[in-house]
Structure 1
Amino acid sequence: MEALLEQVAQLPGLLAVSRSALVRAWDAPTLGRALEWARYFQHLHGRFRARPRLRAALGRRLRQGQPGSPLGFRHLGRCAALLGLALLENRALPPAACRRLLQSLLRPGAAAEAPSLALLARRKAASRLLAPAPRPAGSPAALEPQVRAEAQMLLARLREEEEEAEPGGGRAGEARERLRWVAGLLEQLPQPRALRVVAAALQQQRGGDEEGLRGRAGGGHVAGPLLSWLLESQERFSAFCLLLPGSLLASLAAHYSQLRPPYLDLLTAWGSRLLYDPLQGRWHNSCLGEAELSWEELRERFDCLCRGPALLRGQTRAALELLKVQDGDFHICGLSVWTDLLMEVEKSLRKEEEELASVDNICYPVLSL
Structure 2
Amino acid sequence: MEAVLRNLAGTAELLAVAGRSGVVEQWDKQTLSRAFHWARYCEHVFTRFHNNPGMRRIMEKQLQLTNQSLQAAFPAYTDVSFSDLSQCQHLLLVGLLNNPELPSSIMKILFDSPANTKQTEHEDVSGLCSHIIQCKSACKVLSPLTDVSAVGADAEVQGAMLMEELATLLSQSSEACRTEHFLDSVLRGCDGAAQHFCLVIAAALLTTTNPAAQTASQDFLLDWLREKHSELRHMCSTSPPALLIDLSKQHLKFRDAYCAVLKKWASEMEYSMSDGEWVQTSTNQTSVTFQKLAERFLALLKACPSLREDVVKELNVLKISDGDFDVRGLSVWGDLLSVINKCP
TM (norm. structure 2) is 0.63
Give the C-alpha shift of residue 302 in structure 1.
0.5
Q: 1:203 aligns with which of 187, 206, 227?
A: 206
Post-superposition CA distance 1:199-225 (Å, at most 9, x none): 222222xx4xxxxx3421561x31233
The one of 179, 192, 195 aligned to 1:192: 195
User: Kindly tell me: are residues 37 and 252 of structure 1, through their superposed partners in 2, closer, same or farther at Cα, counting changes over 3 Å?
Assistant: same
Aligned residues: 290
Match for residue 138 of structure 2 among 112, 126, 149: 126
1:65 and 1:142 map into 2 onto residues whose CA distance is 39
Provide the residue aligned with 2:160 in structure 1: 152
Q: Indicate which of 112, 120, 142 corresponds to 2:117.
A: 112
Return the offset for 1:147: 1.9
Write the mapping of 1:163-174 to structure 2, written as runs, cut at 5 A: 163-165=171-173, 174=175
Instruction: Deviation per CA, 1:262-284: give whole Å up to 9, x if none.
Output: 54343223223333456654333
Partner of 2:24: 26
How large is the Cα RMSD of the aligned pairs?
4.8
Task: List alignment gaps of at least 5 residues for structure 1.
Answer: 45-57, 76-81, 136-140, 167-173, 208-212, 350-369
- Cα distance, 1:155 vs structure 2: 0.8
CA distance in 2, matches of 1:116, 1:287: 45
- Cα distance change, pair 13–308 in 1 and its aligned pair in 2 (3 A): farther
**Where in structure 2 are the equivalents of 1:88-107 lying within 5 Å?**
90=97, 92-94=99-101, 97-98=103-104, 100-101=105-106
Q: Deviations over 1:54-80 (max 9, x none)?
A: xxxx998463134584799xx9xxxxx
Distance 1:232 1:119 in 2: 31
Partner of 1:65: 45
* TM-score, structure 1 normalization: 0.60
Where does 1:1-369 land on structure 2 (aligned, <5 Å)?
A: 21-22=19-20, 24-27=22-25, 30-31=26-27, 33=28, 35-38=29-32, 61=41, 63-66=43-46, 69=86, 90=97, 92-94=99-101, 97-98=103-104, 100-101=105-106, 111-113=116-118, 114-115=126-127, 125-126=137-138, 128-129=140-141, 143-165=151-173, 174-190=175-191, 191-204=194-207, 207=208, 213-216=209-212, 219=215, 221-277=216-272, 281-286=276-281, 291-349=286-344
The structure-2 alpha-carbon separation of the partners of 1:119 and 1:199, relative to structure 1 and needing over 3 Å to count, comes to: closer
Distance 1:305 1:103, change over 3 A: closer
Note if contact 1:182-1:225 (Cα within 8 Å) is conserved in structure 2.
Answer: no
Cα displacement string for residues 130-161 of structure 1 (whole angstroms, at most 9, x for unaligned residues): 669999xxxxx962222221211111111122
Asked whether the 8 Å contact 2:270–2:281 carries over to 1, the reply is yes
- Residue 48 of structure 1 corresponds to none
Aligned to 1:360: none
The structure with more radius of gyration: 1
- Give the secondary-structure state (helix, strand or coil) at the position aligned to 1:348: coil
Contact 1:302 1:316 in 2 (8 A): no
